[in-house]
Structure 1
Amino acid sequence: MAGGAGSAGGGSAAAEASGAVVHTARPGSLLEGSLWHPDPSTLTGRDARRVLADIGRVRSFLAALEALAVERVRLACEEEGRRAAERFEAQGGGPERFGGGLSRALAVSEVAVAEGISEFAAARLVGAAEALCGPQIAVLEGLESGTLTEAHARVVTDETSALPSECAEEFGIAALGRLETRTGRRRTPGEFRKAVRALRERMHPDSIRTRKARAAQERGVWVRPEPDGMCTLSALLPAEIGLAAANRLDTLARAQRRSDPEEGRTLPQLRADTLATLILTPTAPDGPPPPDAPELRDAPALPEAPQASPEAAPSPRLGESAPAPAAEIVVHIPAATLLGSSEEPAVLEGYGPIDADTARRLAAAAPTWQRLFTGTDGVPLSLGRSAYRPPKGLRRFIEYRDGTCQFPGCTRAARKAEIDHLTEWQDGGTTDAENLHALCTKHHALKSLQTWTPSRLPTGPDNATADTLWISPLGTRAVTGPTGHEPPDAGPPDASPPDGTPPADGPPDPPDASPPDGTPPADGPPDPPDASPPRHEPAEPQPPPF
């Protein structure tokens, strides 16, 4: 079995002929040589376990190599970022982008695209590589030799990320001294993390109060899509707030079970249903928060979970009598599905396909509808040079077509992104569907600073929307494209809500916003920054940082 292409050499060729598994370098790869091992299906269980141990040592070596490569990319991006900043200043300058961290944003984007990972995972890689190639060089040497697993190395780099640089090296050396117990037994990664975290608490020069106030700035809420119409909702909160919230959910769920002996839901299901009910049916949606609501800004005391009475109203079952979401969500529903003549799934923006029954239930609860033509009927897809800003109908068409930010790997919803001219307006670009695409604030800035450069590829078969080729300062090439909505031959039939009122399209389009001097008009305050998690994301399995 061959695991790669290229010449494996005499020894590897013989190994492959004998049934071994061989991996060789691809053409153009800078990694030379080959790797082979016996076919595991021919091994005894004892020998297969030895192969697993060998794989662990190889994985450690590759982790060290990856850290060295990522650090070199970071240093190269520092130079590219400096050049981009100088170029930007020479062209008249403007507001500072990325809080002065352009080089790091560029490095994260390079690593994410090169390895096909999220920018959250890439940011962890960049931070870990900087630590391993700097103050934690002893950890890097342990990885290279295979004496230290990447899981143990990850513990040190994770805990180092919150330490000031002046004590990071001393901390790393002291952490490695806790790799084994006093009896000589090597600690598992979980045991090692507990010991190293205690060490960090003792060595950190800042008080825990100061560190907690700083960490609280990263609090947030995230959603991770799950299969079969489900998702995971997670939050990063101060510990006392999160535990109080969990205790309250548990108290309410147990009270529900005590009050109804025939309740068939499990406690986890009751907690989930109670959480959804509390969030989606606020007692005072338009008023200020209750007086006893915890104020995160002032490091609150631990709030007590209220004691729910057995007579408390039961939590509705989700999908049956649960309240329809009152917050704004966007669902793309085919007209035939909406009218009940088709069971074609709808698309919940930010998630993906949902069943027709759920889509119709959401549509029935919607206060307003907006009709969207996905063909050329009814929507002006080209304004040429007559206007800079796309009108509302064209903007909705671009948002629906693109689905997400069109930068490689970005999943931010197009509805929360900015509509950008591929060829800039001041360079002769036109306002039409071919020259417009959705970019989130962060990646729009990378394009505007002329770091990553996009260009539209030729139109695909059947006049499908063309993809976009992106080229980075370091030569990375990546192709992105719309989410794949298939445009029908004509726009969907006009559909009105059940009460007979016409779809609400909101206020009329603004007048022509074409700037007289050819410079793009001010777009007002930028969209909020990308809602990707900071250092930790409880809803997502933590990716290895090297």
Structure 2
Amino acid sequence: MLDWWAFGLPKYQPEPANWPELKLAELLPERGALGDYLEDLPPGERLATLLDTLDPADVDDFSLVEVVAAFKRMEAWSAAKAARAAATLAERSSVNPTWPTIVAGRATGECVVGPELAMRLRVSKQAAVKLVACGHAFGTAFEPTGQALEEGLIDFPRAQAIVTTLHDLPAEVAVTAQLEVLDKAPGRTLRQVQQDLARAVIAVDPDSADARHLAARKKRCVNRPQPMEDGMARMSAVLPAADAIALDTALEAAARSAKNSGDRRTLDQLRADSLALMGHTALSLGHIGPYPAPSCTCDCRERCDCRSSSAGGTAPVDGTAPAAEAPPPASGAAPGDSTAPAAGAPPPAGTALTSGSASPVQSAPRLADGPPHPGHRLPGGGLPMVRLGMLGGGRSDIRITVPISVLLPGPRDPGVTAVDRVPEPVAELEGYGPVPPVVARALSAGGVWRRLVTDATGTQVLDVGRTRYQPPTAIADHVRERDGTCIVPSCSVPARNCDLDHIHEWQDGGVTSADNLGPACTGDHAIKSIGAFTVAYASDRTYAWTTPTGHGYLRRPDGTIITLPRRTAEGLRTKGKEAVRSGRPVDASLVDAVLAEVSAGTDVGGRWAPRGEATGQPWPGLEHAPAWSGGDEPPF
């Protein structure tokens, strides 16, 4: 074996421990030198150590831009590592519980890694699942994309766009399109990469474009409102291009019509107000779409005298005209003629005018079970009327909880500052969250008041034991108003869009009562029924969850998530499994005790260790048990 000196090479000298300080001392005096050094430094331990050492206040402008870019490369590097770790977790048996084979008709291999990561990362289940999907993809056909992300050449949004766009395509199409886009992706924005992907897919496989569109059309959706600051919210939609253009054209036409009439709002404001009007109109009338009205008697498609009486085309489903200022009489009708129908009013019950005929014929209103599919309309080119259904067992309406101090505000002392003022109750809009007082009072002024079912009068039945599985209306309303959203950590689906789940399962002896019920969205309800997670509640409706990997979380009534120490989570999980076997629910006082300890000795990060460990009673059953054993009852 030859030594280093045989080749005339200098002797290797390890870097000193303070190499970052020495390197910065060398580079900082010269303007731009640090930036030149950082520009070519790949992400990893060395770059992280150097960035952690420097003080941005000491860096020149040119180099500071490169410092930001270096941090973003580290962010991409970390994202790639996180995605790969998430994909590895998804393969573990703990997050892939199976139904006992003795249960007929039950599926096996139901992965719960999405909820597991969502609770820990405080993200939505969809975001957690996408992270896992990207990690899987980076280890298979999308390894070049994963490598580019790990090297900091692209960020995670661009890498995710490549994976989500191509992963459902045939392998040869996905690989070819990926390589076509990836070469220039480091110099392209997210929007440009998305356009490049669409272009590459069509160029690589033009014959399958129609089939891909039909498959993509199945993923159309409207995302729920995302809260923003100052009482505002953001909504987005994924629609077929033709439907998106139709909606955009309608909003633009309505905005420009108002603008041409002298409205002083901006076009953006008018477009937003027009879209909001569509929702408020549907809630007010109880349906979406036009009210069936007499068609044109002369079979023309232009506005004419014979259609002016039905130009409004909308009316409440009960047949009563909305309370509004009466429009001018139809053309050809004498003023004060009581026989001429007003614009917007429904036709006489059971009558309609058919095209090409001036005589009325009997015709039932044309109702549809749901909106038409993309590209489809009712026979004859008509548009359907779709009734609004119920949400959470009640009518579809806007619900807001307004404290009396907000509804009837008292005089304020202008000399009291925000620091001295005692925090006041805040109004809450269901499905959104806290709103400013002006919004709360405006909604309350024109809203429908509903009494919260809280048993304050002592007349409401909030426990029917095991006499029935489905809760009565009083219990259902009370539970939904009490919890507000899905009770699973990181989930914010409004309660009225959720199922009502028995905390201690019905088949394990649970009762139908307000205490033993909690809202759970459809996906979380199914996952809880598998039995891989345990849940118990405190007297203040803090929910204690444990997961298959041994993690534990407290979900506070306001939705805040507290991570529990591992030992505490193991103890709660043991108690939860014992409750299933014994048929007796976990006592709320147990969760109260855990909550009290956490409140006294930890922050939201959950770094608390149990106090008094030497003298206190240890948690029972600290062994790592499976979700269930062969002798357990099926957890469903």
TM-score w.r.t. the length of structure 2 is 0.57
Corresponding position: 1:90 with 2:99? no
Contact 1:163 1:204 survives alignment (8 Å): no
Residue of structure 2 in register with 1:332 after alignment:
401
How far apart, in 2, do the equivalents of 1:193 and 1:360 lie?
43
Residue of structure 2 in register with 1:161 after alignment:
167
Moved more, 159-168 or 251-260: 159-168
Aligned-pair CA distance for 1:371: 4.2
Closer, same or farther: CA 42–358 of 1 in aligned 2, 3 Å: closer
Gaps of at least 5 residues in structure 1 are 1-9, 20-30, 181-185, 301-325, 460-464, 486-517, 519-546
How far apart, in 2, do the equivalents of 1:384 and 1:289 lie?
41
Contact 1:224 1:232 survives alignment (8 Å): yes
Closer, same or farther: CA 11–469 of 1 in aligned 2, 3 Å: farther
Aligned-pair CA distance for 1:135: 0.4
Q: After TM superposition, list the pairs within 5 Å mapping 1:99-498 onto structure 2.
A: 102-103=110-111, 106-179=112-185, 186-204=187-205, 207-222=208-223, 223-260=225-262, 263-281=263-281, 283-284=314-315, 286=317, 288=366, 295-298=372-375, 327-334=396-403, 345-355=426-436, 358-359=439-440, 362-363=443-444, 365-366=446-447, 369-373=450-454, 377-385=458-466, 387-457=468-538, 459=539, 465-483=540-558
How far apart, in 2, do the equivalents of 1:176 and 1:480 lie?
42
Q: Give the secondary structure class of the aligned counterpart of 1:437.
A: strand
Percent sequence identity over aligned pairs: 30
How far apart, in 1, do the equivalents of 2:479 and 2:251 lie?
41
Contact 2:240 2:374 survives alignment (8 Å): no
Closer, same or farther: CA 378–227 of 1 in aligned 2, 3 Å: farther
Q: Which string of whole-angstrom CA distances, capped at 9 and with x for unpartnered residues, describes residues 393-438 of structure 1? A: 2322221221111111111112222222222233232344433222
Quick one: which amino acid aligns to residue 218 of structure 1? K
How far apart, in 2, do the equivalents of 1:366 and 1:200 lie?
50
How far apart, in 1, do the equivalents of 2:456 and 2:491 lie?
26
Aligned-pair CA distance for 1:472: 1.7
How far apart, in 2, do the equivalents of 1:356 and 1:243 lie?
36
Aligned-pair CA distance for 1:450: 0.8
Contact 1:178 1:196 survives alignment (8 Å): no
Closer, same or farther: CA 289–166 of 1 in aligned 2, 3 Å: farther
How far apart, in 2, do the equivalents of 1:64 and 1:288 lie?
54
Quick one: which amino acid aligns to residue 150 of structure 2? E
Q: Which string of whole-angstrom CA distances, capped at 9 and with x for unpartnered residues, describes residues 467-517 of structure 1? A: 2222222223222132389xxxxxxxxxxxxxxxxxxxxxxxxxxxxxxxx
Aligned-pair CA distance for 1:80: 4.2
How far apart, in 2, do the equivalents of 1:382 and 1:254 lie?
56
Pair member with larger Rg? 2
How far apart, in 2, do the equivalents of 1:375 and 1:124 lie?
45
Aligned-pair CA distance for 1:193: 3.6
Aligned-pair CA distance for 1:127: 2.1
Corresponding position: 1:67 with 2:73? no
Quick one: which amino acid aligns to residue 84 of structure 1? T
How far apart, in 2, do the equivalents of 1:11 and 1:444 lie?
53
Contact 1:229 1:353 survives alignment (8 Å): yes
Q: Give the secondary structure class of the aligned counterpart of 2:501.
A: strand
How far apart, in 2, do the equivalents of 1:51 and 1:143 lie?
18
Quick one: which amino acid aligns to residue 410 of structure 1? C
Contact 1:220 1:236 survives alignment (8 Å): yes
How far apart, in 2, do the equivalents of 1:397 and 1:74 lie?
37
How far apart, in 1, do the equivalents of 2:557 and 2:86 lie?
29
Aligned-pair CA distance for 1:208: 2.5
Closer, same or farther: CA 299–388 of 1 in aligned 2, 3 Å: closer
Q: After TM superposition, list the pairs within 5 Å mapping 1:51-62 onto structure 2.
A: 51-62=67-78
TM-score w.r.t. the length of structure 1 is 0.66
Quick one: which amino acid aligns to residue 471 of structure 1? T
Closer, same or farther: CA 110–247 of 1 in aligned 2, 3 Å: same
How far apart, in 2, do the equivalents of 1:146 and 1:339 lie?
56
How far apart, in 1, do the equivalents of 2:252 and 2:548 lie?
52
Quick one: which amino acid aligns to residue 265 of structure 1? R
Gaps of at least 5 residues in structure 2 are 1-15, 26-43, 283-313, 318-364, 378-394, 412-423, 561-582, 584-636
Moved more, 441-450 or 347-356: 347-356
Residue of structure 1 in register with 2:599 after alignment:
none
Contact 2:173 2:201 survives alignment (8 Å): no
Q: Give the secondary structure class of the aligned counterpart of 1:110.
A: helix
Would you say how many aligned residue pairs link Structure 1 and Structure 2?
417
How far apart, in 2, do the equivalents of 1:341 and 1:47 lie?
55
Contact 1:388 1:431 survives alignment (8 Å): yes
Closer, same or farther: CA 64–193 of 1 in aligned 2, 3 Å: same
Q: Which string of whole-angstrom CA distances, capped at 9 and with x for unpartnered residues, describes residues 198-256 of structure 1? A: 11122247632222222222223232223222223333221122112212221222122
Aligned-pair CA distance for 1:449: 0.8
Supply the RMSD in Å over aligned alpha carbons. 3.9
Q: Which string of whole-angstrom CA distances, capped at 9 and with x for unpartnered residues, describes residues 115-145 of structure 1? A: 2211222222122222111101122223333
Residue of structure 2 in register with 1:512 after alignment:
none
Quick one: which amino acid aligns to residue 69 of structure 1? A
Q: Give the secondary structure class of the aligned counterpart of 1:173.
A: helix
